[in-house]
Amino acid sequence: MRIKVDLKIFLIMFFYIFTRNIDIFVLTLLFIFVHELGHVLSGLTIGLKLKKVNVNCLGFSIEFENYGRQRNMNKIIIDFAGPFVNLLAFTIAYAINKPLIAYINLCILIVNLLPIFPLDGGRILKSILLCKISYKDTMRWIEIISKDTLIVITFLSSFLILYFKNIAFFLLILYLWSLIFKEHRRNKIIQKVFKTIDNNT
């Protein structure tokens, strides 16, 4: 198992220290870690082996060996396990009157279930689409849905930034756009491969 650290996480840490919200940063990292444990436990239950742990701007993410070869239903179970853990944590925190913990888990739950690839919601949507249409068409629709969803979220977040005076929304949007552009470049490469195959057949 490899561990990869994105150094931009230290910039995010500095931001929270500077704004005196380090407690929120620590709690967020803690429950993102709990979120990833949900993915890990579900993957290990299915029989997968952990390949890599990434420490990035959003906290943590994990990769399994042979994840791509799994049945779509197994992928859906693995991808939904993380948000499900946050749903449980939110419910418990709300029930025992821990508003900050409830708020953090609700935010993690909502962000991860957005239909934006490669977030959990985007991965779940991809697995569902693959049951109905080809891989090529699936990736085309995933890119369209991801981009349109993020455009709407960017518009709505501009009001949240002005209302709450919280630059964290801005940083999150920037990070999500970076994911979109990264996947767009990847899809361009895949489309070229498909085009080459089509021309040779």
How many CA atoms does the CB half-sphere of 69 hold within 13 Å? 7
pLDDT average, residue stretch 108-122: 91
Q: Which residues touch 40 (CB under 8 Å, ≥6 apart)? A: 50, 62
**Domain boundaries along the sequence of the chain:** 1-113, 114-201
42, two tokens: 């579900």
Q: What is the mean pLDDT of the chain?
A: 80
Query: What integer pLDDT is reported at residue 90 of this predicted model?
Result: 96
Question: Considering the entire predicted model, what is its pTM?
Answer: 0.80
